[in-house]
């Protein structure tokens, strides 16, 4: 594969990214204008609930991740894989490997930071799940302990009552 094919593939990827970013920009504009202009529109006698009132919605971080972070990481991984594949099949790629590794390094810096942040968020979610399950397990243990103590107390009271009944006879 020559450098012309690689340039063509990169141009196609860039065009797809431009079209995708234009779509996202349009959606952002539509949401902003729609919220401003139709703030008090009533539907079937009820006011519309905003995304914040529903507890859901698109935040700036969501938009950032889908417009910049995800394509950047995919481009970095894809281009690195493509260079490796091309280098194994075409020796002319190895002659220009410095340029390719420079491009991979330029894309790789921000991509690795994004991946690290995503892994940190995942670790935090896992820590929260672990803490939740620890609390839940302790609650089950406490419940079983109290249930056992209550059952023992009920049995003890029943035996005391039975003993009283026998002594009265």
Number of helices (H), then strands (E), in the chain = 6, 2
Q: Is 163 within the bounds of a domain?
A: no
Q: How many domains does the chain contain in total?
A: 1
Residue 143 has pLDDT above 80, yes or no: yes
Residue 157 in any domain: the answer is: no
- Structural domain that includes position 25: 3-122
What pLDDT was estimated at residue 37?
Answer: 53
In a domain, 150, yes or no: no
**144-158 pLDDT, tens per residue?**
999 999 999 999 999
**Domain membership flag for residue 138:** no
Whether 44 has a pLDDT exceeding 70, the answer reads no
Own/partner pairs, 149-158, CB within 8 angstroms, 24+ separation: none
Q: Looking at the domain assignment, is residue 114 inside a domain? A: yes
């Amino acid at each position: 594969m020559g450098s012309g094919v690689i340039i063509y593939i990169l141009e196609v990827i860039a065009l797809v990214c431009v079209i995708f970013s234009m779509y996202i920009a349009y959606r952002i504009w539509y949401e902003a204008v729609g919220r401003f202009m139709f703030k008090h529109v009533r539907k079937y006698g009820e006011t519309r609930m905003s995304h914040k009132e529903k507890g859901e919605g698109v935040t700036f971080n969501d938009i950032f991740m889908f417009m910049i972070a995800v394509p950047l990481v995919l481009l970095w991984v894809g281009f690195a894989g493509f260079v490796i594949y091309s280098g194994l099949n075409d020796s002319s790629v190895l002659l220009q490997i410095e340029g390719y590794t420079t491009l991979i390094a330029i894309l790789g810096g921000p991509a690795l930071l994004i991946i690290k942040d995503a892994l940190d968020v995942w670790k935090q979610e896992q820590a929260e799940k672990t803490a939740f399950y620890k609390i839940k397990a302790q609650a089950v243990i406490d419940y079983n302990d109290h249930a056992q103590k209550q059952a023992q107390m009920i049995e003890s009271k029943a035996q005391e009552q039975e003993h009283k009944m026998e002594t009265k006879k």
